């Protein structure tokens, strides 16, 4: 066979090869962006100067919404109306979360703040953070208490280091309920703001498991729809959160990836 340095690949094959390479690059970019999941941390997130922007907790008033109705509406939009309309809805007040609507289906919807993210997140104390979430009944019983505890500590004025130490004690003393099988939550609200780097991000579902690197779920594997959320990785709470991106917002409108 004669060897030549000249590329004799047919033009059509060249176009196919280039298209494949572009597709591969787009896929790689998508998975890189997706790892900035709810309350996630990226190199760019670390590049945001935490010391300058959100080094400590802002005045409490900045984390509270003056209109409880607005917060309630955002909480309800975390899941499709068929689920959220019969859910219990909580709103954040100075003393913690309070019931704004008593539900009947076991789901609980609320709006979380930045302190529910990783402790090394640049947005941990970001007062703009609003993460609307609806917990299903098992998660409402076994995961929501973590939200209550972190919120209690944050509202008490504890630093990150103090919160971490206190949570370690809470876990050691088994003051939090054990994770229930089937625990998951909806985060499909258009109005959520999940950080300065990602803004509204994508609608998604979250599934909770015991502490893991995610391999048994195939999380972060090439073309796997399951992503490992850094929310509790390395945190005192012994949980792992998996994320699956949804194609639509809770109102049914499409959420194309290129729109975020």
Number of structural domains found in the chain: 1
pTM (two decimals): 0.80
| Residue 7 belongs to some domain of the structure | no
In angstroms, the CA 204 to CA 133 distance is: 10
Whether residue 64 is contained in a domain is answered as yes
Of the candidates 92, 84, 212, 100, the residue with the CA atom closest to the CA atom of residue 136:
84
- Average pLDDT of the chain? 84
DSSP, collapsed to helix, strand or coil, labels residue 211 as coil
Does 112 fall in a domain? yes
Burial (CB count within 10 angstroms: exposed 0-12, middle 13-18, buried 19+), residue 22: exposed
The C-alpha atoms of residue 129 and residue 118 are separated, in whole angstroms, by 13
Domain membership of residue 24 as a residue range: 12-259
Sequence-distant (≥ 6) Cβ neighbours of residue 91 within 8 angstroms: 65, 68, 71, 72, 75, 97, 98, 100, 110, 111
**Averaged over 152-174, what is the pLDDT?**
98
Residue 67: inside a domain: yes
What is the share, in percent, of the chain residues with pLDDT greater than 70? 78
Residue 53: per-residue pLDDT: 75
Q: Does residue 20 register a pLDDT over 50?
A: no
Confidence of residue 89 (pLDDT cuts 50, 70, 90): very high
Tokens 């195939």 appear where? Answer: 218
In a domain, 5, yes or no: no
The answer to whether position 218 is within a domain reads: yes
């Amino acid at each position: 066979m004669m060897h030549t340095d000249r590329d004799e690949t047919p033009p059509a094959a060249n176009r196919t090869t280039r298209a494949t390479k572009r597709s591969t690059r787009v896929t790689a970019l998508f998975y890189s962006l997706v790892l900035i999941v709810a309350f996630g941390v990226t190199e760019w997130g670390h590049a945001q100067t935490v010391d300058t922007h959100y080094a400590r907790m802002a005045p409490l008033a900045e984390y509270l919404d003056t209109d409880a109705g607005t917060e309630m509406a955002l909480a309800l939009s975390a899941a499709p109306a068929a689920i959220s309309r019969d859910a219990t809805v909580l709103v954040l007040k100075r003393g913690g979360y309070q019931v704004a609507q008593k539900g009947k289906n076991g789901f609980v919807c609320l709006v979380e703040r930045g302190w529910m993210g990783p402790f090394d997140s640049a947005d941990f104390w970001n007062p703009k953070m609003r993460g609307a979430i609806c917990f299903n009944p098992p998660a409402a019983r076994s995961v929501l208490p973590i939200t209550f505890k972190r919120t209690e500590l944050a509202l008490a004025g504890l630093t990150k280091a103090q919160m971490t130490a206190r949570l370690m004690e809470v876990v050691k003393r088994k003051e939090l309920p054990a994770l229930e099988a089937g625990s998951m939550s909806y985060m499909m609200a258009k109005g959520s703001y999940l950080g300065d780097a990602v803004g509204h991000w994508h609608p998604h579902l979250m599934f909770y498991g015991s502490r893991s690197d995610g391999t048994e779920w195939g999380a972060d594997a090439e073309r796997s729809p399951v992503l490992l959320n850094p929310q509790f990785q390395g945190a005192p709470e012994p949980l792992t959160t998996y994320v699956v991106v949804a194609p639509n917002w809770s109102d049914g409108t499409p959420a194309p990836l290129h729109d975020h």
